[in-house]
Chain A
């Protein structure tokens, strides 16, 4: 186990003593024959955060996290690293605000540098109707103490003179800003939670793919894996992107379709964009990494897929969105692009709930916004797994909400997952 606290003093000491004192950040474990109180299926950000909060908040340390590849190899390593809590609906906003508060204290809590940077996020406004809608959303954010500011066109132009303010189709009239939003070093989130959980006694088991669930008398009693059967009193699935494939092994169909979301990074530039900018009507959002690359993305490819790659039409669409709003990117070369599989739910909002199988729990449906939710998702899932009750900010994330007509549809587009 690591149990090594990181500090400036420690870095200095190791520098002077040949770096011999560093240890692996987490313990690579094998499954225990005696089984576990809780098994988390999926060693991504949400799964590792769940294990960490189970141990830290609820004292449940006999926990295993099973990961079919290596931890952080899924969406926590494939996103655009943005954090924000700028939602409209009461089912969502308090949850994402809890997440933001956990982000703000994450590094102190984990003693791990996750490079949380509250550089701010700005949603551009192009019409009177959009301004009304965003100011309504700003009021919803203020109710949840998330903070929100309205910037007029001049204030936007002062900060980012390269934006195409007078665009013929979408002139910029202003922006909704959340100064507390920003970016986080995504891989470090997985590693930090893994280290925190491992230090508290959680077994992190990599290269362990779940091939089935053992279900006796309607209760889940463990999982079948390529490392043999593993017993558990309770199993929490947390594999967004692969939710359909994994839950099918328990005979459960979900209100979810799997789609691919592509993301892009350019060659390194000098500092030019110290904020996250979203150009919603043009399906483009952008920030600049500490290495200088512009990181941007847009819409999903809009057809069901489990392949972690998209197609070229969306690349063209996203890049033309970028050209429309910040024409200065035209000479910049794309360095890399990649795709991640996302759980698109029927109303664009996630699930943290029990299932029809006893002792089998489900966390998924994060659409393209799971990264920012990582801390609160783990926090609330751990609360549900430990206490049998949903956390107070996650009570709306039930699997049966469509049956009850209680959708949480931020965009109001109805049950068409590729439009959320």
Chain B
């Protein structure tokens, strides 16, 4: 698979480490009354999508950036690649 890095251009997926679905960016609030259940969902339960999956790839052997890659889990086709930083800022975080 070739991942089209927004800053570095097309790179072999071998340069990356795969973490999992983008849900892992949204750590639950530990002060919530439902924190125990929220963390159980966050840590252990997966939607395991068959189709377009937004997922986190880390460019370990490159510029050390985290990317959000939209990839079809049925065909391996990569639909879009964004910097995780941009996705995070669009959600209102500072970084």
Contact = CB atoms under 8 A, between A and B. Distances in A.
A302 interface: yes
Given A302-B18, A313-B14, A346 B44 contact: yes
* Contact-residue bracket for chain A: 20 to 34
Contact of A313 (B13, B20, B49, B71): B13
A314 B14 CA distance: 9
B74 interface: yes
Contact of A257 (B14, B20, B75): B20
Interface string A381-420: 0000000000000000000001100000000000111100
A255 B13 contact: no
Nearest to A303: B18
Given A306-B73, A307-B73, A258 B48 contact: yes
Contacts of B18: 302-304, 418
Nearest to B69: A303
Given A311-B1, A311-B76, A313-B13, A306 B47 contact: no
Nearest to B42: A415
B79 interface: no
A255 B46 contact: yes
Given A303-B55, A304-B21, A304-B53, A253 B73 contact: no
Contact of A254 (B12, B45, B55): B45
A256 interface: yes
Contacts of B53: 304
Q: Is the interface of B mostly helix, strand, loop or mixed?
A: mixed
Contact of B46 (A253, A305, A307, A313): A253
A255 B46 CA distance: 6
* Contact-residue bracket for chain B: 20 to 34
A416 B43 CA distance: 9
Contacts of B1: 311
A245 interface: yes
Given A302-B18, A304-B21, A304-B55, A415 B13 contact: no
B40 interface: yes
A346 B21 CA distance: 14
Contacts of A307: 73-76
B73 A305 contact: yes
A244 interface: yes
B50 interface: yes
Contacts of A257: 20, 46, 48
A80 B93 CA distance: 47
Interface of A: 243-245, 248, 253-258, 302-307, 311, 313, 346, 402-403, 415-418
> Shortest 10 CB-CB distances between A and B: which pairs?
A244-B48, A402-B44, A303-B18, A313-B14, A255-B44, A245-B50, A346-B44, A306-B50, A305-B73, A253-B45
16 contacts: A244-B49, A244-B50, A253-B46, A254-B48, A256-B46, A302-B18, A303-B13, A303-B18, A305-B76, A306-B50, A311-B76, A313-B14, A346-B44, A417-B20, A417-B46, A418-B18
Interface of B: 1, 12-14, 18, 20-21, 40, 43-50, 53, 55, 71, 73-76
